[in-house]
Amino acid sequence: QAGLTQPPSVSKDLRQTATLTCTGNSNDVGNEGAAWLQQHQGHPPKLLSYRNNNRPSGISERFSASRSGNTASLTITGLQPEDEADYYCSAWDSRLSVVVFGGGTKLTVL
């Protein structure tokens, strides 16, 4: 089962903007779009956005998602210390009828 591709790590300065990427193909990200999850160490994941750019209730507007072709992106503006976490993307693979995850990106806020 092929997964989605995410860079293993990203480092940005406090109050700067980070853009995380997630690359799939036309059967997954390019089809129904991607969701983004945030996971702090020792905690369950938390949904940040779904189907490219929909934010669940309670999620800060500092988190915004988009998609271009087969690549989804999560942009985090005004980085805060609490944004330091692992970020995962996921998507439905319409060919395999499975959910696929990216390997995760560890975001460090300097």
3-state helix, strand, coil in the chain (%, to 5): 5, 50, 45
Closer to another protein by Cβ: residue 28 or 83: 28
Q: Which of 11, 78, 80, 96 binds another protein (CB under 8 A)?
A: 96
- Which H/E stretch holds residue 34? strand 34-39
Supply the DSSP symbol for 19.
E
Among 20, 79, 88, 107, binds another protein (CB under 8 A): 88
Q: Is 63 in the site for another protein (CB under 8 A)?
A: no
79/101 Cα distance (integer angstroms): 24
For another protein, the binding residue among 18, 20, 22, 35 (CB under 8 A) is: 35
Q: Which tokens hold the place of 32? A: 């129904």
Residue 97 binds to another protein (criterion: CB under 8 A): yes
Q: Which one of 23, 79, 104, 107 is in contact with another protein (CB under 8 A)?
A: 104
